[in-house]
Amino acid sequence: MEPISGIWAYVAMSLKATGIFTVVILVVAYTTLAERRVSAWIQDRRGPNRVGPFGLLQPIADGIKNILKEETLPATASRFFFVLAPILVLVPSMVTFAVIPIAAPLPTPAGVVDMVIADLPIGILYVLAFSSLAVYGVVLGGWASNNKYAFLGGMRASAQMVSYEVALGLSLITVLMMAGNVTLTEIVWQQQQLGMWFAFPLSLAFILFVISAFAETNRLPFDMAEAESELVTGYHTEYSAMKFSAFMISEFGHMVTSSALMATLFLGGWDLPGTWDDAHWYQGQLIAGFAADGSVILANPAWWKTLLTFAGFAAKTGFFLVVYIWVRWTLPRFRYDQVMSLGWKVMLPTALAYVMLIAGTILVLDEIGVPWGFGYGLALTAVSGMATFAFMFALDRGRTITGAAAQRGQRVEVKTTPTATARAGS
Partner 1 sequence: MTVFLFYVFAGIAIGASIGVVIARSPVGSLLFMVTALAAIAGTFVLMEAHFLAAVQIIVYAGAIMVLFLFVIMLLNLGHEAQRDLKGGAFAVVSAGLAGAMAGLLALQLRGSEVVAGSGAGAEAIAAANAEYGVVGAIARPLYTTYVVPFEITGILLLVAIVGAVALAKRGEQS
Q: Which residues bind partner 1 (CB under 8 A)?
A: 78, 81, 120-122, 125-126, 128-130, 132-133, 135-136, 139-140, 143, 146, 151, 154-155, 158-159, 161-162, 165, 181-183
Nearer to partner 1, 135 or 167 (CB): 135
- Helix H or strand E segment including 251: helix 241-266
Instruction: Taking each helix axis as running N to C, give the angle between helix 184-194 and helix 374-396, from 0 to 180 degrees, rounded to the nearest 10.
Output: 110
Please, what is the minimum distance in Å from the beta carbon of residue 316 to partner 1? 26
Query: Toward partner 1, which CB reaches closer, 154 or 268?
Result: 154
Distance CA 131, CA 128 (A): 5
Tell me whether residue 49 or residue 132 sits nearer to partner 1 (CB atom). 132
CA–CA–CA angle 31, 32, 38 (5° rounding): 80
Give the integer Cα–Cα distance in Å for 87 and 247.
9
First to last CA, the chain: 84
Q: Tell me the residue type at 186.
A: E
Identity of residue 289: G
Neighbours of 14 (CB within 10 A): 10
Min dist. Cβ of residue 111 to partner 1 (A): 22
At 107 the three-state DSSP class reads strand
In the bound state with partner 1, the residue whose beta carbon lies nearer, of 122 and 298, is: 122
Instruction: Output the smallest distance, CB 159 to partner 1, in A.
Output: 7
- Closest distance to partner 1 from the beta carbon of 290 (Å): 19
Question: How near is the Cβ of 179 to partner 1 at its closest, in Å?
Answer: 11
Between residues 165 and 277, which has the closer beta carbon with respect to partner 1? 165
**Closer residue to partner 1, CB minimum distance, 130 or 239:** 130
What are the φ/ψ torsions at residue 122 (nearest 5 degrees)? Answer: -95, -5
Distance CA 50, CA 8 (A): 45
Q: How many Cβ atoms are within 10 Å of 368's Cβ, its own excluded? A: 8
To partner 1, the closest distance from the beta carbon of 36 in angstroms equals 32
